[in-house]
Amino acid sequence: MKKIFIGVLGVIFLSLFISVGFAESQGKIGYIDLSRSFDEYQKTKDLDKELEAKGDMKQQDREKVVQEIRKMRQELELMNKNAREKKEADIEAKIKFLQEFDQGAKADLTKERDNMVKDILKEMSDVIKEYGENNGYSIIVNDRVLLYGGQELDLTNEIVKILNNKYKTVPGN
């Protein structure tokens, strides 16, 4: 049993050294903290502010409908039976409209956020690929799959700088 364990351990170490040697012979290796790059990218910050403003506008529209419902309920107390039934139906319709508005607003904002994230990640991927090709990298990985990487291999700051510089040069930003 001990010999099998030592044999397996030997194979693991041998494969590790072979893969490291192979990687070194193939070129440079680097990694990127995609989450931090995404968060520090000025375009992400600007689009988040835009989405937040749109969300605030939807919230204001929602609040107007809520106020209308409250007003209708207050009026309801002063009405006779026939008018009250009509007003209750109107209130129910308004509540249904509010629920649909909430669902639609949430779906719209979520879809817009998803599209924004997709576009930014595509843009980041293109910049990372171009950076790797221009600087002789064979492998650039996401830090989430990395168990250990020395600070000298971290390309995050360089990629964020490139992204932000490109974004600044786009008219209207």
Question: Which tens digits make up the pLDDT trace of 98-123?
Answer: 999 999 999 999 999 999 999 999 99
> What is the average per-residue pLDDT within 135-146?
91
pLDDT higher than 60, residue 22: no
CATH code 3.30.910.20 for 2-169: yes
pLDDT for 148: 86
pLDDT for 25: 52
pLDDT higher than 50, residue 95: yes
114: its two tokens: 């998803």
Domain positions in the chain are 2-169
Residue tagged 């988040």 (tokens)? 48
pLDDT for 31: 94
Mean pLDDT for the chain?
A: 85
pLDDT higher than 50, residue 11: no
pLDDT higher than 70, residue 10: no
Q: Is residue 37 within 8 Å of residue 156, measured between CB atoms? A: yes
Q: Is residue 40 within 8 Å of residue 102, measured between CB atoms? A: no
CB atoms within 10 A of CB 45: 12
